[in-house]
Amino acid sequence: MNKWLTGCLVVLTTSLMGSAFAIGKIGLIYATPIMLVAIRFLIAGGFMAIIVKYLRFAHPKKVSDWLKIALIGLFQTAGVMGCIFVSLRTITSGQSSILTFMNPLLVVIFGTLFLKMTYSWRQWIGVIVGFIGVFITLSTQLDFQIGTLWGFLSAISWAIGTLLIKKWGSPINTWVLTAYQMLFGGLILLMGSFLLETPSFQITALSITILSWLVFMASVVQFSVWFYLLQTGDPGKTSAFLFLAPFFGVLAGWLLLDEKIDWHVMFGGVCIFIGIFMVNWTPNSSLKIGEN
């Protein structure tokens, strides 16, 4: 694929990933967090499920495979996005994006502990540098906002989802897996909304515009472009570009929400980006990062 086209698609998909934090925070003016993200993924997952059904992509025939997809949806969509949107109530969109995109670092740790995966010394140095970056980023918030915990939990959930996809995903069509894990995740979030909050969604022109952006641009388009890049290029090298997403998250928070960017956030973010880059940018890497 043409390098210029690849570069444009990388910028498109990572900017959509990052901007979703700031736009989602604006959406919380009109909806409770879990309900907003539940509606987002019910529509996005339902839309993609119709598409993969229409295109006659192979669907799983075993009940066990559908249960695996549902479990992936629990962590990859419900866990990640539910924690992100709850975190946005008390911390900035930029900080939430930085914490969430720690997931490649956690994948190395969890993969080693639970799947007996092996990684190079460069990847382990990347993990150390990344966690130093997290400490620097949060250095002035050691009073510990509850949103910090939710942001970190989103990274943990994403890392678990990534490893489940690595373990179970290969026999299942990628597009079918993506569509239905979003749909299952949306259903889990809908139930969670009624159990954990008093759900609400105000219908206004702006709230519908925000929801439409989150559904189609930040979910359907972003997922489609990302999977296209993973399929047409080297997955390990392509995944390294995820470090751009928190950069766009911080930038979108500054542009759309007038969020202040302190020096420690910038310096810590750079350390995290370097760490993620070192974890992923290796020839024939055994690590493939999951998407959201």
Q: Tokens in use for 12?
A: 């498109």
Q: How many domains does the chain have?
A: 1
Question: Residue 143's pLDDT is what?
Answer: 47
Task: Please report whether residue 9 resides in a domain.
Answer: no
Considering Cα of 267, then 268, then 271, then 276, what sign does the dihedral take? negative
Give the integer Cα–Cα distance in Å for 222 and 227. Answer: 9
- Tokens 């540098």, residue located: 129
Is residue 244 a contact partner of residue 73, using CB atoms and an 8 Å limit? no
Range with lowest mean pLDDT among 7-11, 103-107, 191-195, 203-207: 103-107
The confidence score (pLDDT) of residue 248 equals 87
Whether pLDDT at 285 is above 50:
no
Whether the predicted pLDDT of 231 surpasses 50: yes
For residue 27, is it within any domain? yes
pLDDT higher than threshold 70 for residue 156: yes
Give residue 200's domain range. 22-280
Residue 1 included in any domain: no
What's the whole-number mean pLDDT along residues 212-234?
Answer: 85
Q: Say whether pLDDT at 165 is over 80.
A: yes
Q: How confident is the model at residue 234 (pLDDT cuts 50, 70, 90)?
A: low
pLDDT tens per residue across span 35-57: 999 999 999 999 999 999 999 99
Q: Is 11 inside a domain boundary?
A: no
Q: Going along the chain, which residue ranges are E strands?
A: none
pTM confidence score: 0.85
Decide if 14 is inside a domain: no
Q: Are 54 and 189 in contact (CB under 8 A)?
A: no
CA distance linking residue 137 with residue 127, whole number of Å: 15
Amino acid 169: pLDDT: 84
CA–CA distance, 155 with 105 (Å, rounded to integer): 9
Percentage of the residues of the chain whose pLDDT score is greater than 70: 89
For residue range 11-33, what is the model confidence (pLDDT) as tens digits?
Answer: 899 899 999 999 999 999 999 99
Calculate what percentage of the chain has a pLDDT beyond 90.
Answer: 48
* CB-based contact 236:279 (threshold 8 Å): no
DSSP structure string for 213-278:
IIIIIIIIIHHHHHHHHHHHS-HHHHHGGGGHHHHHHHHHHHHHH-----HHHHHHHHHHHHHHHH
pLDDT at 265: 73
**Other CB atoms within 10 A of residue 162 CB:** 27
Contact yes or no for 71/163 (Cβ under 8 A): no
Mean pLDDT of 223-244: 72
pLDDT at 79: 96
Residue 239 inside a domain? The answer is: yes
269: pLDDT strictly greater than 60: yes
The confidence band for 206, taking pLDDT boundaries of 50, 70 and 90, is very high
**Rounded to a whole number, what is the largest CA-CA distance in the chain?**
53
Residue 72 lies in a domain: yes
Which DSSP state fits 210? H
The dihedral over CA atoms of 193, 196, 202, 205, expressed in degrees to the nearest 10, equals -60
b/e sequence 128-155, b meaning 16+ C-beta within 10 Å: ebbbebbebbbeeeeeebebbbbbbbbb
pLDDT tens per residue across span 64-103: 999 999 999 999 999 999 999 999 998 888 888 888 888 8
Residue 291 near residue 142 (C-beta atoms within 8 A): no
Report the pLDDT value the prediction gives residue 101, as an integer from 0 to 100.
83
Q: Is residue 5 part of a domain?
A: no
Question: By C-alpha distance, which of 142, 119, 165 is closest to 281?
Answer: 119
Q: Is the pLDDT of residue 140 over 60?
A: no
